[in-house]
Structure formats: C-alpha cells, structure tokens
Amino acid sequence: MVENDGTCVSGVNVLGQRAALEQLVGEEAFKAALDKLPASFRATYDTVTPLSWVPIPILETMLLTVAEHTGRDPQSLQAESVRMSVERTLRTVWRVLLRFTSDDALVSRTPVFYNKTFNRGALATKIVTPGCAEIVLTGWPEVPSLQLLALGVGIEGVLYAAGRRELRSSCERTADGARYTVSWRV
C-alpha cells in the first residue's frame, strides 16, 4: 500500500475513473472489490463528490483490489480506466474546441489540467520541436508508479482528443518527479 503523504486526486477525476473501472470489470466484480476495502477507505470512496479530494492510498488500494479480484494487471487496468475516463470527459464540446487549439496552446495548458487533478507537484511544459513536447513534473519525488502511468495516459488522452495522432510518449523518473516526452504526427 502507498504511504499517505497527503497527496490527493480531485473528486471529478475519481468519479470518472470509478465509472470506467466499473464498466471495465462489471458491476458485480466492482462491488465485490469494494467490499474488500478497509472500512475507512470504503467510507471515503463511497462518499466522493466532484468537490472532494481523495488520498492516493485509497485510490491505489481500490485499483489494486479490483485488479486482484478480477485477475487483471494493475498497470493495464489503470491505463484503460484513465484513458476511458479522459475520453468521456472530453467527449462533449471540449473535443471540438480542442481540435482548433494550437499545439503550443494545448501543451501550455497541461499544467492547468494537472492542478485540477492533483494537489501536489507542478508541471512545466515546452514544445521542443514541432510535434514534440517535454512535460516535467516537479515537487513530487516519490510519485507512485501508478500515478506516473495515469498522468502519462491522461496527457496522451487529451492530445488524442485534440486530434493529435501517432502519439508516442516516454517517462523517466527524476530526483524531483518525472520527465515526459510526447510526440505526435505534425
């Protein structure tokens, strides 16, 4: 289990991923996994609202419990559920607006999305060359692997929703967080 350092994810994102997890594994399996959570985690997870902030250990314990209960790989389940949640969030009018946004504007707004998702760390972004961006996470040196994965999948999901194709990304940990390199067809 991840140590509780006070880092949280916004309720909006938790609710989106929760709906995606339930769809991916089925309502019955999802509810059975919920029943395996520690009582205090379950109480928090059951009462999430869009305005809530949910501690990372609760989210990671839930994901790992669902993965174990359903025989799924936790990393794959994390990636699928985040991708599905981002897709749902951006399915509406946002998708149309994003398609008319320049690469520079899109990449430069990534820190805004990040700050609405996590209450720890900060992102700095820059376009390295046309079709290639560097996104650096600082202020979270012990960021859990599942959260690094979620952040990378989220970045790709926004770019994909904005019409960028042939996405490739990599992530490397740094002493203070991580560095993502993302590229797409120009």
Report the C-alpha gap between 74 and 34 in whole angstroms.
16
What are 171-186's pLDDT values in tens digits?
999 999 999 999 999 9
Higher per-residue pLDDT: 3 or 132: 132
Confidence (pLDDT) at 123:
97
Range 113-142 average pLDDT: 96
What are 8-37's pLDDT values in tens digits?
999 999 999 999 999 999 999 999 999 999
Q: What is the span of the domain harbouring residue 33?
A: 8-89
Q: How many domains does the chain have?
A: 2
Split at pLDDT 50, 70, 90, the class of 161 is confident
- The answer, yes or no, to whether residue 97 has pLDDT greater than 80, is no
pTM of the predicted protein model: 0.91
Report the C-alpha gap between 139 and 42 in whole angstroms.
29
In a domain, 2, yes or no: no
Do both 55 and 108 map to the same domain? Answer: no
- Last residue of one domain, picked from the residues 54, 89, 124: 89
- Last residue of one domain, picked from the residues 89, 121, 143: 89
Do both 122 and 57 map to the same domain? Answer: no
